[in-house]
Structure 1
Amino acid sequence: MTASFSKTIRQAGLVAAFAVSFAALSSSPSFAFSAEAQQMCTGDAFRLCSSEIPNIPAITACMYKHRAELSAGCRTVMDHDVAAQQSKVATK
């Protein structure tokens, strides 16, 4: 096996783990990300929090810890999703 092939396999595994992590977050009643947040934040999560994958609570905490370093698009959709979740909780 060549080094580049191994690197490609590792990256594919990380992408799959991250996708599963975000999918699980999306199905969590306490903290759900929209498909838009998944799309806008995947790069930021890999860049800032790859060491936390696949630990869902750790990824979430890491993303909030690094909020100032998030891309503008990710920060916007995360803020929107959090506000929507808070609104749902407040109306119950």
Structure 2
Amino acid sequence: MSRLVLTAVSLLGILLTNTAFAATRNEQTAACKGDAIRYCAADIPNEQKITVCMKAHLQQLSPECKAMFKQPATSKHKKVLKPA
């Protein structure tokens, strides 16, 4: 079980570093470790499957974990479309 927890924590950290939310890895792990084990234990250690699983369970995630997946409300850099 402890190996499962360590693997989940490691993969969860990698998964969440790809989000645009500026939280530290420790904050991400603390917020989502329980949810990753609860909803996605069968997908560990496959990072892609964990990503899909966590997003599929987004509505069931704890508020703290759900916040890690949300994009910032505003972006400092707006994409400028160039005429064709």
TM-score by length of 1: 0.64
The correspondence for 1:22, drawn from 12, 31, 36, is: 12
Report sequence identity in percent.
Answer: 33
Please list every run of 5 or more consecutive structure 1 residues that lacks an aligned counterpart in the other structure.
1-10
Letter in 2 for 1:22: L
- Aligned residue pairs, count: 73
Corresponding position of 2:45: 54
Letter in 2 for 1:25: L
Corresponding position of 2:67: 76
TM-score by length of 2: 0.69
Please list every run of 5 or more consecutive structure 2 residues that lacks an aligned counterpart in the other structure.
80-84
CA distance in 1: counterparts of 2:61 and 2:16, whole angstroms: 19
Corresponding position of 1:7: none
> What's the CA shift string for 1:8-59, capped at 9, x where partnerless?
xxx11101111221243356xxx25742122101100100110001111110
| Cα separation, partners in 2 of 1:53 and 1:68, compared to 1, 3 Å | same
| Cα separation, partners in 2 of 1:77 and 1:15, compared to 1, 3 Å | same
Of structures 1 and 2, the one with the larger relative CO (CA 8 A, separation 6+) is 2
Q: Does 1:12 align with 2:2?
A: yes
CA RMSD of aligned residues (A): 2.4
| Cα separation, partners in 2 of 1:67 and 1:12, compared to 1, 3 Å | same
Higher helix share goes to which structure? 1
Structure 1's consecutive aligned runs of 4 or more residues displaced over 2 angstroms after TM superposition are: 22-27, 87-91
